[in-house]
Amino acid sequence: MTDSSPQDWNIPAKEDSPHEGGFRADLKITTERGGPTYGEMIEQVRTFMDKVRYACPTHELADEVIDDLKKLNAKLDTMLVDEWTSPSGTRVDLPSRGNITLPPYEISAGGPDGVDATVIFRRFHLGGNGVAHGGHVAIAFDDLGGMAAALRIGGVSRTGYLTVNYRSLTPLETPLAVRTWVDRQEGRKLFIKGTIHDGDRLCADMDALFIALKPGQA
Ligand SMILES: CCCCCCCC/C=C\CCCCCCCC(=O)SCCNC(=O)CCNC(=O)[C@H](O)C(C)(C)COP(=O)(O)OP(=O)(O)OC[C@H]1O[C@@H](n2cnc3c(N)ncnc32)[C@H](O)[C@@H]1OP(=O)(O)O
């Protein structure tokens, strides 16, 4: 249960919103939406989530935090925009393009042959016993696999299936090497593979199918 009514979130796309079906039509790189400290704002939210994951507040402190969060939520309520105009996901200057929902990664190389990135699973990505939750590992593969597909075809694709093999434990707070690449393409079907390594140790690998969307496809 939240304080926000459903319509708070249902910001309709405008005439000039840059989308066409399921595509973000305007792939123009933007580093300006959200302002110069947007990345720091996202980082503070991630740090807060890290703390929340491990904090055991007193009743009083929980109430205090709730009051502070209500104030912050009210501030952002005055600035909500539709998903196509939101900076989250398009800020290529920021880890994970400024997308708060993704584990933060930085791309070191990307092109038609694949993507090399460094991901850090944060404390709030904890699954159990000090290591990453498998679902978060899959999210990293999904996004960076989708990026390998996008860079191959110069357009948007959607995940058909994604299989993750968890080969060994995936640590938190550790820079991990991710590689995703197009193994083969058959028309609109892009068969994508990926790996996550902690040094020489393979943590997980991925086998996925991404399907290129047709123009205007939702
Ligand atoms: C250096 C910096 C540069 C920056 C540049 C930025 C660029 C990069 C930008 C951003 C990267 C971020 C990327 C994000 C990635 C995230 C992606 C997601 O998580 S997507 C959400 C989860 N997925 C869904 O919700 C799909 C739901 N399903 C569907 O919408 C449809 O099923 C869809 C579109 C996938 C396919 O539907 P149809 O109607 O278009 O096509 P049909 O005919 O059904 O399938 C085409 C072919 O694929 C096979 N196929 C489809 N699904 C399959 C499956 N699950 N398994 C096996 N085959 C499948 C079919 O059998 C068919 O094959 P036959 O052509 O006959 O050989």
| Count of structural domains, the chain | 1
Confidence (pLDDT) at 16:
66
Query: Per-residue pLDDT for 1 more than 50?
Result: no
Over the stretch 43-85, which tens digit does the pLDDT of each residue have? 999 999 999 999 999 999 999 999 999 999 999 999 999 888 8
Residue 22 is assigned to a structural domain of this protein: no
The CATH code of the domain that includes 194 is 3.10.129.10
Decide if 194 is inside a domain.
Answer: yes
Does residue 70 belong to any structural domain of this protein?
Answer: no
Q: Is residue 26 part of a domain?
A: no
Does the residue 132 lie in any domain? yes
Separation of CA 117 and ligand 1 centre (Å)? 22
Give the residue numbers spanning the domain of 206: 102-212
Residue 113, domain member (yes or no): yes
Ligand 1 closest atom vs CA 158: 20
Question: Which amino acid residue places its CA nearest to atom 6 of ligand 1?
Answer: 147
Q: Is residue 92 part of a domain?
A: no
Spell out the SS3 assignment of the chain. Answer: CCCCCHHHHCCCCCCCCCEECCEECCCCCECCCCCCCHHHHHHHHHHHHHHHHHCCCCHHHHHHHHHHHHHHHHHHHCCCCCCCCCCCCCECCCHHHHCCCCCCEEEEEEECCEEEEEECCCHHHEEECCEECHHHHHHHHHHHHHHHHHHHHCCCEEEEEEEEEECCCCECCCCEEEEEEEEEEECCEEEEEEEEEECCEEEEEEEEEEEECCCCCC
- Does some domain include residue 75? no
